[in-house]
Amino acid sequence: MNFTKMHGLGNDFIVVAGEKELPAGADQLAIKLCNRFFSIGADGVVFILPSEKADFQMRIINSDGSEAEQCGNAIRCVSKYVYDHKLIDATEITIETIGAGVQKVQVQVQDGKVVTARVDMGAPILQGLQVPTTVDANEVIDYPIEVEGQAFRFTAVSMGNPHCVIYVEDAVHFDLATWGPKLEAHPMFPRKINVEFATVRSRTFTDMRVWERGAGPTLACGTGACATLVSSVLNGLSDREATVSLKGGDLFIEWSEADNRVYMTGPAEEVFTGTV
C-alpha cells in the first residue's frame, strides 16, 4: 500500500488514495500504522475514496481504530493531496464526509502547490441532544460538569463531530493529560467528545489546547478551533472572526452572520511518501 504522510499544523495523518472503498479491517490497520514506536506513526489514517455526491470522499480512522465523522486538518490535507497530485485541477473542491456532509474547500496555490485552504465547515449544531450530550436544551452554554471532584463549565458545539469547550486561566500550560481523557469519556457525552481548553486573550485571539476523541493530545484540531470560536461568540468573549492558536500553529476562523456557516483557513503540508 502506498501512502503519503501529511500534517495540518502538526496534526498528522497517513493519507491513502486509490482505494475504491474503505478497506476491511481498516480499524486494526490504523492501530498498527499509527503506532509511533513500531510503525509510521500518526494521529490517524485518511482514505481518499470516490464519491457520488462530491469530487472525493474522506474517511478518517483514528489511531485507536475508531472512525472520526469529520476533521478540519485532515480535509485541508486531502485538498492539498488531490490538487498537488493532479487528481483535480480546480481550486474549488468538494469533499464528502460522513459527519458534516459535502464540504466546499477553496485552495490557494503557489508554484503549482497548495499552500493554504479555506474550508466551509458548515453551520454549527448547538442543540444539546444533537451534539450529542445528555442535556436537552437548545444551547448548552457555560454548563456545569464535574469529574472526580473537579468542577468545570463547558459549552457544547458539534461541527459534524462533538466538542465541549472549557475556559481555563492558562490553556497553554493546562494539565491536558489528566483531565482530557476523563472528560472525553464522561457519561454526559454518549458518543464521547473532543475536549478543548481555551483562554481568550482578546476578542480576536484565543489560545486553545485539545484532547481529541480517539487520538488523545494532538498539536491541532480544525473542528476544535471552529467549535472554540463559536463557543467564544456564544459566551460573549470573542468577535465572529478570530485567530485560534494551537500548539502546532494558528488557524483563522470565521463564523458568518450572513449564512451561519463557519469558515476555517490554514495550511497543510506533505512530509514524505512511502510503501508499507
Q: Which residues are annotated as a binding site for substrate?
A: 11, 62, 72-73, 161, 194, 212-213, 222-223
How many other CB atoms are there within 10 angstroms of residue 72's CB atom? 30
221 is catalytic: yes
Q: Please give the helix or strand (H or E) that residue 144 lies within, else none.
A: strand 143-147
Which residues have a Cβ under 8 Å from the Cβ of 244 and sit 6 or more positions away? 206, 208, 225, 228, 229, 250, 251, 252, 253
The per-residue DSSP string of 236-261 comes to: T-S-SEEEEEETTEEEEEEE-TTT--
Phi then psi for residue 140, to 5 deg, are -110, 95
Distance CA 219, CA 77 (A): 15
Catalytic residue among 71, 77, 164, 226: 71
Nearest to 221 by CA among 185, 189, 176: 176
164 is catalytic: no
Whether the CB-CB separation of 51 and 96 falls below 8 Å is answered with: yes
The angle subtended at Cα 245 by Cα 108 and Cα 125, nearest 5°, is: 80
Distance CA 249, CA 6 (A): 15
Distance CA 217, CA 50 (A): 31
Catalytic residue among 34, 77, 164, 221: 221
Distance CA 1, CA 81 (A): 16
Sequence ranges of the binding site:
11, 62, 72-73, 161, 194, 212-213, 222-223
- Annotated catalytic residues are 71, 221
